[in-house]
Protein backbone atom coordinates (compact mmCIF):
# COMPACT_ATOMS: atom_id res chain seq x y z
CA UNK A 1 0.00 0.00 0.00
CA UNK A 2 1.29 3.48 -0.85
CA UNK A 3 1.95 6.15 1.76
CA UNK A 4 -0.51 8.84 2.75
CA UNK A 5 0.02 12.49 1.88
CA UNK A 6 -1.60 15.04 4.15
CA UNK A 7 -3.38 17.93 2.41
CA UNK A 8 -5.17 20.37 4.67
CA UNK A 9 -7.34 18.41 7.08
CA UNK A 10 -7.40 15.13 5.14
CA UNK A 11 -5.08 12.58 3.56
CA UNK A 12 -4.61 11.12 0.10
CA UNK A 13 -3.42 7.56 -0.57
CA UNK A 14 -2.68 4.67 1.74
CA UNK A 15 -6.23 3.39 1.59
CA UNK A 16 -7.78 6.79 2.34
CA UNK A 17 -11.04 7.60 0.47
CA UNK A 18 -10.85 8.83 -3.11
CA UNK A 19 -10.20 12.59 -3.34
CA UNK A 20 -11.34 15.03 -6.03
CA UNK A 21 -8.96 17.62 -7.49
CA UNK A 22 -10.95 19.94 -9.73
CA UNK A 23 -11.23 23.48 -10.99
CA UNK A 24 -10.64 25.76 -13.93
CA UNK A 25 -7.72 25.26 -16.28
CA UNK A 26 -6.73 28.88 -15.73
CA UNK A 27 -8.10 31.50 -13.34
CA UNK A 28 -10.65 33.71 -15.10
CA UNK A 29 -12.88 36.43 -13.64
CA UNK A 30 -13.35 36.02 -9.89
CA UNK A 31 -17.10 35.55 -10.36
CA UNK A 32 -16.52 32.57 -12.65
CA UNK A 33 -13.98 31.12 -10.23
CA UNK A 34 -16.37 31.39 -7.30
CA UNK A 35 -19.23 29.94 -9.34
CA UNK A 36 -17.03 27.00 -10.28
CA UNK A 37 -15.82 26.41 -6.73
CA UNK A 38 -19.41 26.52 -5.44
CA UNK A 39 -20.52 23.94 -7.99
CA UNK A 40 -17.61 21.63 -7.19
CA UNK A 41 -18.29 21.94 -3.46
CA UNK A 42 -21.90 20.92 -3.96
CA UNK A 43 -21.05 17.98 -6.24
CA UNK A 44 -18.30 16.75 -3.91
CA UNK A 45 -20.59 16.99 -0.89
CA UNK A 46 -23.27 14.94 -2.65
CA UNK A 47 -20.66 12.29 -3.52
CA UNK A 48 -19.16 12.37 -0.01
CA UNK A 49 -15.71 13.28 -1.35
CA UNK A 50 -13.02 15.56 0.01
CA UNK A 51 -11.77 17.96 -2.65
CA UNK A 52 -9.05 20.39 -3.67
CA UNK A 53 -9.59 23.43 -5.87
CA UNK A 54 -7.04 23.78 -8.68
CA UNK A 55 -6.43 26.52 -11.22
CA UNK A 56 -3.40 28.12 -12.85
CA UNK A 57 -2.44 31.75 -12.35
CA UNK A 58 -0.39 31.58 -15.56
CA UNK A 59 -0.50 29.08 -18.41
CA UNK A 60 3.02 29.45 -19.71
CA UNK A 61 2.73 26.74 -22.36
CA UNK A 62 -0.29 27.87 -24.38
CA UNK A 63 -0.25 26.83 -28.03
CA UNK A 64 -0.50 30.40 -29.35
CA UNK A 65 1.37 33.47 -28.16
CA UNK A 66 -1.98 35.31 -28.35
CA UNK A 67 -3.82 32.94 -26.02
CA UNK A 68 -5.05 34.08 -22.60
CA UNK A 69 -2.53 33.07 -19.95
CA UNK A 70 -4.17 34.12 -16.68
CA UNK A 71 -4.16 36.96 -14.13
CA UNK A 72 -0.51 36.52 -13.16
CA UNK A 73 1.20 35.51 -9.94
CA UNK A 74 0.14 38.26 -7.51
CA UNK A 75 -3.51 38.59 -8.52
CA UNK A 76 -3.83 34.85 -9.08
CA UNK A 77 -2.65 34.02 -5.58
CA UNK A 78 -5.08 36.58 -4.17
CA UNK A 79 -7.91 34.83 -5.99
CA UNK A 80 -6.82 31.39 -4.80
CA UNK A 81 -6.58 32.69 -1.23
CA UNK A 82 -10.13 34.04 -1.46
CA UNK A 83 -11.48 30.71 -2.73
CA UNK A 84 -9.56 28.88 -0.01
CA UNK A 85 -11.05 31.12 2.69
CA UNK A 86 -14.61 31.20 1.37
CA UNK A 87 -14.97 27.45 0.84
CA UNK A 88 -12.56 26.15 3.49
CA UNK A 89 -10.83 24.03 0.87
CA UNK A 90 -7.16 23.32 0.06
CA UNK A 91 -5.93 24.88 -3.18
CA UNK A 92 -3.45 23.79 -5.84
CA UNK A 93 -1.65 25.65 -8.59
CA UNK A 94 1.28 25.02 -10.89
CA UNK A 95 4.68 26.69 -11.07
CA UNK A 96 6.88 27.08 -14.12
CA UNK A 97 9.93 28.79 -12.62
CA UNK A 98 11.82 28.42 -9.35
CA UNK A 99 11.30 32.12 -8.58
CA UNK A 100 7.54 31.50 -8.26
CA UNK A 101 7.75 28.73 -5.70
CA UNK A 102 8.20 30.71 -2.47
CA UNK A 103 5.21 32.99 -3.05
CA UNK A 104 3.01 30.10 -4.19
CA UNK A 105 3.91 28.02 -1.12
CA UNK A 106 2.61 30.78 1.16
CA UNK A 107 -0.93 30.27 -0.23
CA UNK A 108 -1.42 26.75 -1.57
CA UNK A 109 -1.43 23.31 0.03
CA UNK A 110 -0.35 21.54 -3.17
CA UNK A 111 2.31 22.74 -5.61
CA UNK A 112 1.83 21.28 -9.07
CA UNK A 113 4.65 20.61 -11.52
CA UNK A 114 3.44 20.70 -15.15
CA UNK A 115 3.97 17.64 -17.34
CA UNK A 116 6.42 19.38 -19.66
CA UNK A 117 8.60 20.26 -16.64
CA UNK A 118 8.49 16.98 -14.73
CA UNK A 119 12.21 16.37 -15.31
CA UNK A 120 13.36 19.87 -14.31
CA UNK A 121 15.48 19.13 -11.25
CA UNK A 122 15.76 22.67 -9.91
CA UNK A 123 11.99 23.16 -10.06
CA UNK A 124 11.26 19.84 -8.36
CA UNK A 125 13.80 20.55 -5.62
CA UNK A 126 12.51 24.08 -5.02
CA UNK A 127 8.95 22.81 -4.68
CA UNK A 128 10.00 19.94 -2.40
CA UNK A 129 12.03 22.20 -0.14
CA UNK A 130 8.87 24.12 0.83
CA UNK A 131 7.62 21.03 2.65
CA UNK A 132 4.29 21.35 0.84
CA UNK A 133 2.62 18.48 -0.96
CA UNK A 134 3.95 18.27 -4.51
CA UNK A 135 1.89 16.88 -7.39
CA UNK A 136 3.94 16.04 -10.48
CA UNK A 137 2.24 15.45 -13.81
CA UNK A 138 3.89 12.61 -15.73
CA UNK A 139 5.20 14.03 -18.98
CA UNK A 140 3.65 12.86 -22.22
CA UNK A 141 7.13 11.71 -23.18
CA UNK A 142 7.94 9.81 -19.97
CA UNK A 143 7.37 6.13 -19.23
CA UNK A 144 5.58 5.38 -15.92
CA UNK A 145 8.62 3.64 -14.44
CA UNK A 146 10.77 6.72 -15.14
CA UNK A 147 8.77 8.64 -12.52
CA UNK A 148 10.94 6.81 -9.96
CA UNK A 149 13.60 9.40 -10.75
CA UNK A 150 11.12 12.19 -10.01
CA UNK A 151 10.39 10.54 -6.68
CA UNK A 152 14.10 10.42 -5.84
CA UNK A 153 14.54 14.13 -6.61
CA UNK A 154 11.65 15.16 -4.36
CA UNK A 155 12.51 12.71 -1.58
CA UNK A 156 16.14 13.87 -1.64
CA UNK A 157 14.92 17.07 0.04
CA UNK A 158 13.38 15.15 2.91
CA UNK A 159 9.87 15.75 1.58
CA UNK A 160 7.82 12.59 1.03
CA UNK A 161 4.55 14.42 0.39
CA UNK A 162 4.53 13.48 -3.28
CA UNK A 163 1.64 12.67 -5.59
CA UNK A 164 2.18 11.37 -9.12
CA UNK A 165 -0.35 12.19 -11.81
CA UNK A 166 -1.08 10.42 -15.10
CA UNK A 167 -2.28 12.64 -17.96
CA UNK A 168 -1.76 10.57 -21.08
CA UNK A 169 1.23 9.72 -23.23
CA UNK A 170 2.05 10.96 -26.73
CA UNK A 171 0.63 8.41 -29.15
CA UNK A 172 0.77 10.17 -32.49
CA UNK A 173 -0.07 13.46 -34.13
CA UNK A 174 -2.56 15.38 -31.92
CA UNK A 175 -3.45 12.38 -29.81
CA UNK A 176 -2.73 11.06 -26.32
CA UNK A 177 -3.44 7.65 -24.84
CA UNK A 178 -3.66 6.45 -21.23
CA UNK A 179 -1.93 3.15 -20.51
CA UNK A 180 -3.80 1.91 -17.45
CA UNK A 181 -0.80 -0.22 -16.48
CA UNK A 182 0.98 3.04 -15.65
CA UNK A 183 -1.40 3.70 -12.75
CA UNK A 184 -0.38 0.44 -11.09
CA UNK A 185 3.31 0.94 -11.89
CA UNK A 186 3.36 4.38 -10.26
CA UNK A 187 1.31 3.29 -7.24
CA UNK A 188 3.84 0.53 -6.63
CA UNK A 189 6.45 3.27 -6.14
CA UNK A 190 4.74 3.99 -2.83
CA UNK A 191 3.20 7.34 -3.78
CA UNK A 192 -0.47 8.25 -4.15
CA UNK A 193 -1.53 8.48 -7.80
CA UNK A 194 -3.98 10.85 -9.46
CA UNK A 195 -5.54 10.47 -12.91
CA UNK A 196 -6.05 13.64 -14.94
CA UNK A 197 -8.96 12.64 -17.16
CA UNK A 198 -9.47 15.93 -18.98
CA UNK A 199 -5.93 16.52 -20.24
CA UNK A 200 -5.79 12.85 -21.21
CA UNK A 201 -8.47 13.44 -23.88
CA UNK A 202 -6.72 16.52 -25.22
CA UNK A 203 -5.64 16.79 -28.86
CA UNK A 204 -2.53 18.98 -28.41
CA UNK A 205 -2.44 21.62 -31.12
CA UNK A 206 -5.33 19.82 -32.81
CA UNK A 207 -7.32 22.99 -33.41
CA UNK A 208 -4.53 24.89 -35.09
CA UNK A 209 -3.81 27.77 -32.73
CA UNK A 210 -5.13 25.87 -29.71
CA UNK A 211 -5.57 22.35 -28.40
CA UNK A 212 -8.65 20.38 -29.30
CA UNK A 213 -10.12 17.49 -27.40
CA UNK A 214 -12.62 14.67 -27.12
CA UNK A 215 -14.58 15.44 -23.96
CA UNK A 216 -16.99 12.55 -24.60
CA UNK A 217 -14.31 10.10 -23.46
CA UNK A 218 -13.81 11.69 -20.02
CA UNK A 219 -16.33 9.43 -18.21
CA UNK A 220 -14.85 6.26 -19.71
CA UNK A 221 -11.34 7.16 -18.55
CA UNK A 222 -12.59 8.18 -15.10
CA UNK A 223 -14.45 4.90 -14.65
CA UNK A 224 -11.49 2.86 -15.91
CA UNK A 225 -9.08 4.66 -13.59
CA UNK A 226 -11.32 4.02 -10.59
CA UNK A 227 -11.51 0.33 -11.50
CA UNK A 228 -7.73 0.00 -11.80
CA UNK A 229 -7.06 2.02 -8.65
CA UNK A 230 -6.36 5.71 -8.12
CA UNK A 231 -6.12 7.88 -5.04
CA UNK A 232 -7.38 11.11 -6.59
CA UNK A 233 -9.49 12.04 -9.61
CA UNK A 234 -8.10 15.17 -11.30
CA UNK A 235 -10.14 17.11 -13.83
CA UNK A 236 -10.94 20.55 -15.13
CA UNK A 237 -14.52 21.80 -15.03
CA UNK A 238 -16.26 24.94 -16.21
CA UNK A 239 -19.83 26.19 -15.81
CA UNK A 240 -19.89 26.98 -19.55
CA UNK A 241 -17.10 24.99 -21.26
CA UNK A 242 -17.54 26.70 -24.62
CA UNK A 243 -16.62 29.99 -22.93
CA UNK A 244 -13.56 28.63 -21.09
CA UNK A 245 -10.46 30.72 -21.73
CA UNK A 246 -8.32 27.57 -21.83
CA UNK A 247 -9.14 23.97 -22.81
CA UNK A 248 -12.77 24.57 -23.80
CA UNK A 249 -12.85 21.27 -25.72
CA UNK A 250 -11.95 19.13 -22.71
CA UNK A 251 -13.27 20.95 -19.63
CA UNK A 252 -16.09 18.93 -18.08
CA UNK A 253 -19.46 20.72 -17.70
CA UNK A 254 -19.93 21.75 -14.08
CA UNK A 255 -23.61 20.77 -14.16
CA UNK A 256 -22.62 17.18 -15.01
CA UNK A 257 -19.91 16.80 -12.37
CA UNK A 258 -22.18 15.27 -9.73
CA UNK A 259 -23.30 12.42 -12.00
CA UNK A 260 -19.71 11.65 -12.99
CA UNK A 261 -18.52 11.60 -9.38
CA UNK A 262 -21.35 9.22 -8.42
CA UNK A 263 -20.20 6.71 -11.06
CA UNK A 264 -16.53 6.99 -10.14
CA UNK A 265 -17.17 6.76 -6.41
CA UNK A 266 -19.29 3.62 -6.77
CA UNK A 267 -16.68 1.90 -8.94
CA UNK A 268 -13.90 2.89 -6.54
CA UNK A 269 -15.82 1.48 -3.57
CA UNK A 270 -16.56 -1.74 -5.46
CA UNK A 271 -12.86 -2.16 -6.27
CA UNK A 272 -11.93 -1.67 -2.62
CA UNK A 273 -14.43 -4.32 -1.53
CA UNK A 274 -13.21 -6.82 -4.12
CA UNK A 275 -9.51 -6.17 -3.47
CA UNK A 276 -9.93 -6.18 0.30
| The Cα angle at residue 217 between residues 211 and 219, in degrees rounded to 5 | 125
Quote the pTM value: 0.96
246 phi and psi, to 5 degrees? -150, 140
| CATH number 3.10.250.10 is the correct assignment for the domain at 14-275 | no
**All structural domains of the chain with their residue ranges:** 14-275
pLDDT tens-digit series, residues 163-173 = 999 999 998 88
- Cα gap 215→222, rounded to integer Å: 12
Largest CA distance in the chain: 51
Percentage of residues in the chain having pLDDT higher than 90: 88
Residues 187-210 have pLDDT tens digits of 999 999 999 999 999 997 655 555
Q: How far apart (Å, rounded) are the C-alpha atoms in residues 28 and 34? A: 10
pLDDT of 89: 98
Residue 76 predicted with pLDDT over 70: yes
Amino acid sequence: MNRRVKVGTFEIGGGAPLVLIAGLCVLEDLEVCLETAKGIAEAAAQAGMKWIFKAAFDKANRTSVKSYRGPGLEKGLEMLAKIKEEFGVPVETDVHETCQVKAVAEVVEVIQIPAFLCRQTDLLVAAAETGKAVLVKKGQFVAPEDMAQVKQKVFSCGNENLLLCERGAAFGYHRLVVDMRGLQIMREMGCPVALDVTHSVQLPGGAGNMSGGEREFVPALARAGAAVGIDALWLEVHPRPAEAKSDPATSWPLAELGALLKQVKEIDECRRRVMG
